[in-house]
Amino acid sequence: MSPPVYRVCNLLEKTLAGVPIGTNLGLFQLQFALVSGRFLESRGAVFPALNDLGLAPHAVRRASAALRKGRWKTQDLLDNWQEIVQAQGHFRAHCYAGFQPVACDLTGFRRPGLQGNRAKHYVAQAGKALPSIVVGMAALVGTVGSSRLALPRLLVRWEPTDTREAQVQTRLVEQAGKSLAPEELAVFDAGFSLAEVRALTPRFVVRLAKNATMRRNVVPAYQGHGRPALYGEVIRPLARSHGGKHIAASAPDAHFSWQEGDVCLEAQVWNDVVLPKEKPGAVGVNVVAIFDPRYQEPLLLASNLEVCASVVRCLYRDRWAVEHLPLAGKPMLGCGQGFVFGALSRFRLPELALLCGNILSYAAATCSAVATGFWDRASRATCGRLRRVLGRLDFCELPALGEQLRKKASVTGHLATGAAGHRRQKGVRGPEAALQPT
């Protein structure tokens, strides 16, 4: 048995600390089916993936029951995973001018035709929002070896009372802001509202739309005629065209330039500006427009930090690390579209896929690279290569598990069997009933 297999099994076992006996064995089998790529062949179906792992029918049913109605929480698994990674010392959080970036984003797992699901998420390939299971993510960004890695700390799910994706965004911003340590800072993409981010997050960097406008946080001097101004001067960080007319950009408060290799970058800064509908006296932010000759469009960022423009750019660039969580969980592990319909399992399976994809990426980065075959002469430590190694194993071939991972010896002689054991009761049907947890 190769060392990477032992390492993956050890990491999966440690994340299940605190999960009840019996349930932890079922979850371990489900997690191993995920990291070994069994869900790729089953296209997101649970029973075929577990059966392909080599489990007996009763073990397949127990693992599915652990997902559907087991007494565990995803946040507890995330907390265990955070402690494991921090204790091993391989993960080094990125730090710029004393601030560590915590990247936040939303992702969606396609679920067309799922009854009771009102959530939709934009899909670039389709060009519109499609029915999905929406999950909010917050992750601390750092490096493991030579690979950049986002370590998830929060997964925010769609609540039964939600009607819009923006409500999940608001809860993600609020929870991420509360979870920040004094040296940490939240980083958001352009889809997040600057007003919400500023109100709910103590330190942040957020991207603005290229046509965003702001206002000065001071009232302009009275010109001697007309009504005195109530709002500050309008600030347009970037030039634009409207109705065939060119509108020039506003003059910046400061201008900076610096060298990165062979490229010279420039930045324009507007200090202490507020939202267009706010009067002077509101909480101001700093707006930075970064011009990189390698890109056609400049990067427009807003932050409440008093740091140089190059630091703001480095903090925002680390936001892209959170995109690897859904990339590892959906196309790499095969959970882009699941086939579970329970009130809890429809959320738990995508959350487990994100966690297992991160575990697989971390294990690959901390182990020696494993070649896929004789043709792989320059193999790299990637989660895809490690997944192929795990995919060649059956569950019976795994190393001995810990004594806590075992079937619970419960007394079942008093339970009804046959038709009386699974007799269904009449209840309310419809979308509202499907969203009620069991």
Q: Is the torsion defined by CA of 193, 195, 198, 201 positive or negative?
A: negative
Straight-line distance from the first to the last Cα atom of the chain, in angstroms, rounded to the nearest whole number: 40
292: which 2 tokens?
A: 């990189």
CA 294/CA 379 separation, integer angstroms = 30
Nearest 10 degrees: CA dihedral of 43, 109, 72, 187? 140
CA 108/CA 277 separation, integer angstroms = 32
What is the secondary structure of 65-116 as a DSSP string? HHHHH-S--HHHHHHHHHHHHHHH--EEE--BTTBEEEEEEEEEEE-TT-TT
Each of the 438 residues of the chain gets a pLDDT tens digit; together they read 688 889 999 999 999 999 999 899 999 999 999 999 999 988 889 999 999 999 999 999 999 999 999 999 999 999 999 999 999 999 999 999 999 999 999 999 998 888 888 888 888 888 898 889 999 999 999 999 889 999 999 999 998 888 899 999 999 999 999 999 999 999 999 989 999 999 999 999 999 999 999 999 999 888 888 888 889 999 999 998 888 889 899 999 999 999 988 999 999 999 999 999 999 999 999 999 999 999 999 999 999 999 999 999 999 999 999 999 999 999 999 888 888 888 899 999 999 999 999 999 999 999 888 888 888 888 888 888 989 989 888 888 888 787 777 787 776 677 677 777 666 666 555 444 445 544
* Whole-structure pTM value: 0.89
Nearest one of 74, 60, 121, 64 to 350, comparing CA atoms = 74
Longest dimension (CA), the chain: 93
Secondary structure (3-state) at 148: strand
Counting runs of H as helices and runs of E as strands, what totals does the chain give? 13, 15
